[in-house]
Structure 1
Amino acid sequence: MKRLSSIFLAALLTVNFACKKDKDDSTVTPSNDVTLEGTINQSMTLDAGKKYILRGNVYVTAPAELTIPAGTVIMGDKVTKGALIIDRGAKIHATGTSSNPIIFTSGAPAGYKNYGDWGGIVILGKAPNNGGANVNIEGVSAQAGENGKHGGTDADDNSGEFQYVRVEFAGIALSPDNELNGLTFGSVGRSTKVDHVQVSFSGDDAFEWFGGTVNAKYLVAYRSWDDDFDTDNGFSGNVQYGIVVRDPSIADISLSNGFESDNNATGGPEAPLTAAQFSNITVLGPYAFKVKSVASASKKIYNYTFGDINGSYGQGAHLRRNTAQSIYNSVIIGFPTAVNFEKTNSGSKFSGNFLSRYKTLAAFSSGNGNDTTGFAANNRTLAGFNLADYFAGVVNQRIDSSSNVANIFELSNPNPLLKAGSPLLSGSKSVPAGLEQTSFVGAFDGSNNWMHGWTEFDPKNKAY
């Protein structure tokens, strides 16, 4: 790629890109295929016909707006741990389509891409959090001025749009408790639009929210290394329709969870409490994906034993340290512990959920504020690893036509639609304001596969 020339401003140590100005002089567009690095402090529109490389931490600073059209491919540089950081007051307009998504991926060639090949994407805003008005975002070294800071008082803050986007092979653990995730939100406000986002092969968490009020729909966390949906520091948005697909052989030493939620690192009562509301999420843990060979005539699903997975798996949902996060009408299957309420706040609700293929159903620690007496009445469970389990009786399976063998739920070909007669087509519980009421439980009904068209389940071998 040819790198754009840059002008270093001695006083600010930022980089301005040499670009072609549009007629109205309000935005600029790159004149060649480019490597993006330094600071973008003018509004810029990328060209879907070109390829881009993120080199090092690339900051978009206020009041600049970065527009990324449908079909654009942006690759992260491995050597410099390339990352894109949208500072508060700046905006990103990444609007793909169902047939032409925007792709952030590894710069490695097809067949050689891997976890943590590049840094990731960070979007920062001015909405409240419980850590302060000028908080350094995790994974980004402390910077002078605004770079990498988040927090404020504007719950309706707008950081732009992030729609029909894939983020692949990002996420780097820089040091303990200091990681870049696939997609990180810091105090992002509710006027920001986030929907139809797939994070695949993240070297840390897939999605993490630090404070903020942003809402999101239609999220896919595919084969993450650590957690899938991680919420902290007062995040209070609504997240609905999401799926987690885990790899049985990959987990983090810190214990990998589907959901992980804290109020803050100390478990203190600082406001706002982490009070996100999740609904219609399907979390498919490591026990969900292995099937033993069977005779072609039997079509039986066999048990996946507890010794067959990576030993660093934890909980389908780990709600801890004073979090008031709530989970409604969701499916959690295939984890050693389905849900762990570890000193949660009494504002945390867990209702309408279906839990299966677990070793321990639910753990309640001393000092837990969740309603332990209402747990059994408000949720459905299918104990153990019976042959008539979630996949055999609830969700569609793929039948190999050549061998007539039933395969549970292939990692590279997931089909999560509910089968006719599934008990999960009904039985949902009421949800609070801000969430859509559905009759079905989990992320999918029997006919609408909202992942169709824009997702990719073999990105390691995908050539862009």
Structure 2
Amino acid sequence: MKHVKHILSALLLLLSLSLAFVACKKDPVDPDPQPAVTAITSIDPATAPVGSTISISGTNFSTDPASNTITIGGVTATVVSASPTKLVIVVPAGAANGPVSVTANGQTAQSAGTFTVAIPGLKPTKEVRGTTFANMTWKKDTIYVLRGQVYIPADYKLTIEPGTIIKGTGPEMDPSGNKYPGALIVERRAQLIAIGTPTQPIVFTSSKAAGQRAYGDWGGVVLIGKSPVNQSRTAAYPNGVRGTVEAYGEPFDNSGTLQYVRIEYAGATQPTTPASRLGGLTLIGVGANTVIDHVQVSYSGSDAFAWFGGTAKLKNLFAYRSFDDDWSADWGYVGNVQFGVSLRDVSTGDPSGSNSFEIDNYQSAETSDVTAVTAINGYTQTAPTFANFSSFAYSTAPTTGLYNAGIYLRRNTAVSIYNSLVYGFPVGIYLEGAAVGSQANITSGTLDLKGVVIANALTPVVGAGSNTPEQATAYFTGAGRSNQIVATSDVATLLLNSNNLTLSSPAFVLQTGSPLLTGAVTGSKLADSFFTPVTYRGAFGTENWVSGWTNVNPQATDYDR
């Protein structure tokens, strides 16, 4: 019996030790752990228009928005915010109906369902005509239609919200019966506050449907200020605008603000004798306190930008496929302009000869060599300063015909042009008459061309009238001017962007190592605080300032929604 008890005690001890061993043993480690899986569980909402935000729920997303790549129907979207289980994105322009794809943490997932791009309804329209004696605000949820000449009179203000569309009608829609095309004209002491954004530019365009728009469908945009001009006080405003010059001397006048604005298909013929046309943007006596930057004028049936006197200062201008001149100045304009690019469609132009720059000093009916206009309203000469401009025409060796010169200077003008590029014009610089022949403007320094590159020109420099070709060439190539002539055979050395002259998708930022990235002149009139100091020649260095807010295919753009 005692033996049996010993055996039982031994068995109990052994069982206790076994249980203790099992209790102390660690859980086994899984030899093949499963990685986190990127997946999409839902899209909210599953139907939304371009530009709206939607949420994508799922797993294994990156918390860094830039580390997630999301496409809708194959088009990449912008990520607004990110967490491991939720992404908020903006429906991108060009998105098509289709699945949503997310790539995060090295994995790609696709939604089981299809996202649908909603088509917004048509915006309501509102006709505007005549003169409105009230402050107004035009909102982006309404399309405004200009019928005839629409005036903002003295002491009133028009404010336009970002993203607003304004359409101009043709002369047949003039309610007065006078055959004036639709135009917006801001008179002296009135103001236009049109502040768009890079993502919501303000657009002035044709009232015609997409696919039917053309050069000169409507009038254009006009600002009038109280800054000096060099015309008689009884002289009528140009191109059918009502009123006379009168006499003002307020160089720091303020006509408002234009930022991130597009003006398309302007330049219709005015019912004047002789026939005339407004430019896309016309500035008459506009003062230096007016803010104008990031403005594109496309398919103008006349000039793109036109200055009639004044002291206005502008930056970041894009003239695209103009019919006549890109940059036209006269009536004693003495303002400053920096960063401008123009791209021509060489199949379209004015039979009289289109130019990129056309700088005058007197009425077009007056002769080339005339005495200076009496300074009734201040300045006697057109003497603006342009810096960092690029003007592009022909890609191959240019021809004569619809085109004249990249820079056409005449009638005793005293312009200064610095650090600029003229490419592909039959004539690079055309110096006519008293502009240089008298030597007075050169001696005084009021006419100053420095850091200018003429490339791919049939004839780089031309002199005419009292200015001989030899004088013109000697002036342009003179020591200390840092001007350059690049033959057609050598244009590849400039290392321009390969899409520089591609009308459908132009690109202007220079290639790495381009000689245009250096060599800019300094000092002289560039010492004015308005000018941004840069090292490059032409309109572009490494910053693509036309990106996002411009449009080179307005013909296909649906502005009704």
- Structure 2 Cα separation of the partners of residues 268 and 116 of structure 1: 35
Residues 310-319 or 222-231, more deviating: 310-319
Q: Deviations over 1:328-380 (max 9, x none)?
A: 00000100000011121432111101110101111123434987534214244
Partner of 2:358: 260
With normalisation by structure 2, the TM-score equals 0.68
Partner of 1:69: 161
Residues 239-248 or 72-81, more deviating: 72-81
Offset of residue 436 of structure 1: 2.8
Q: Deviations over 1:370-420 (max 9, x none)?
A: 87534214244344321x415x6421214xxxxxxxxx6311211111111
- Structure 2 Cα separation of the partners of residues 177 and 208 of structure 1: 17
Q: How large is the RMSD of aligned CA atoms in angstroms?
A: 1.9
What amino acid does structure 2 have at the position aligned with 1:238?
N
Query: Are 1:136 and 2:214 an aligned pair?
Result: no
Query: Are 1:97 and 2:197 an aligned pair?
Result: yes
What amino acid does structure 2 have at the position aligned with 1:91?
Q
Partner of 2:372: 269
- Structure 2 Cα separation of the partners of residues 128 and 331 of structure 1: 30
**Count of paired positions:** 399
- Structure 1 Cα separation of the partners of residues 546 and 244 of structure 2: 32
Offset of residue 99 of structure 1: 1.1
Question: Which of 320, 329, 344 is the matching residue for 2:419?
Answer: 329
With normalisation by structure 1, the TM-score equals 0.82
Partner of 1:35: 127
Question: Which of 163, 183, 204 is the matching residue for 2:259?
Answer: 163
Give secondary structure in 1 for the equivalent of 2:312.
Answer: coil
Question: Which of 517, 520, 523 is the matching residue for 1:425?
Answer: 517
Structure 1 or 2, whichever has the larger Rg, is 2
- Structure 2 Cα separation of the partners of residues 374 and 139 of structure 1: 35
Partner of 1:339: 429
Residues 242-261 of structure 1 mapped to structure 2, 5 A cutoff: 242-261=340-359
**Where do 5+ consecutive residues of structure 1 fail to align?**
1-31, 289-303, 399-407
Offset of residue 109 of structure 1: 0.5
- Structure 1 Cα separation of the partners of residues 217 and 333 of structure 2: 28
Give secondary structure in 2 for the equivalent of 1:311.
Answer: coil
- Change in Cα spacing, 1:153 to 1:336, as seen in structure 2 (3 Å) is same
- Change in Cα spacing, 1:42 to 1:134, as seen in structure 2 (3 Å) is farther
Q: Deviations over 1:305-328 (max 9, x none)?
A: 445xx7120000001000001110
Q: Deviations over 1:220-269 (max 9, x none)?
A: 00000000100001000000000010001011022100000111123541
- Structure 1 Cα separation of the partners of residues 275 and 382 of structure 2: 18
Asked if the contact 1:36/1:58 (under 8 Å) is kept, the reply is: yes
Partner of 1:123: 223
Asked if the contact 2:462/2:472 (under 8 Å) is kept, the reply is: no
Query: Are 1:364 and 2:463 an aligned pair?
Result: yes
Structure with the larger RCO, 1 or 2 (CA within 8 Å, 6+ apart): 1
Offset of residue 184 of structure 1: 0.4
Offset of residue 132 of structure 1: 3.0
- Structure 1 Cα separation of the partners of residues 385 and 135 of structure 2: 34
- Change in Cα spacing, 1:151 to 1:372, as seen in structure 2 (3 Å) is farther
- Structure 1 Cα separation of the partners of residues 387 and 313 of structure 2: 12
Partner of 1:389: 491
- Structure 2 Cα separation of the partners of residues 47 and 441 of structure 1: 39
Offset of residue 167 of structure 1: 0.1
What amino acid does structure 2 have at the position aligned with 1:389?
V
Partner of 1:230: 328
Q: Deviations over 1:151-192 (max 9, x none)?
A: 511111110111110000001233657321111000000010
- Structure 2 Cα separation of the partners of residues 113 and 441 of structure 1: 35
Identical pairs, percent? 40
Asked if the contact 1:255/1:313 (under 8 Å) is kept, the reply is: yes
Q: Deviations over 1:30-69 (max 9, x none)?
A: xx74100010211111111100100000011011100011
Partner of 2:549: 454
Partner of 1:178: 276
- Structure 1 Cα separation of the partners of residues 353 and 475 of structure 2: 27
Partner of 1:13: none
Query: Are 1:48 and 2:140 an aligned pair?
Result: yes
Offset of residue 137 of structure 1: 2.1
Asked if the contact 2:310/2:333 (under 8 Å) is kept, the reply is: yes
Q: Deviations over 1:255-295 (max 9, x none)?
A: 1000001111235412411000000000002x12xxxxxxx
**Where do 5+ consecutive residues of structure 2 fail to align?**
1-123, 175-180, 436-440
Asked if the contact 1:138/1:179 (under 8 Å) is kept, the reply is: no
Give secondary structure in 2 for the equivalent of 1:411.
Answer: coil
Asked if the contact 1:137/1:150 (under 8 Å) is kept, the reply is: no
What amino acid does structure 1 have at the position aligned with 2:248?
G
Partner of 1:221: 319
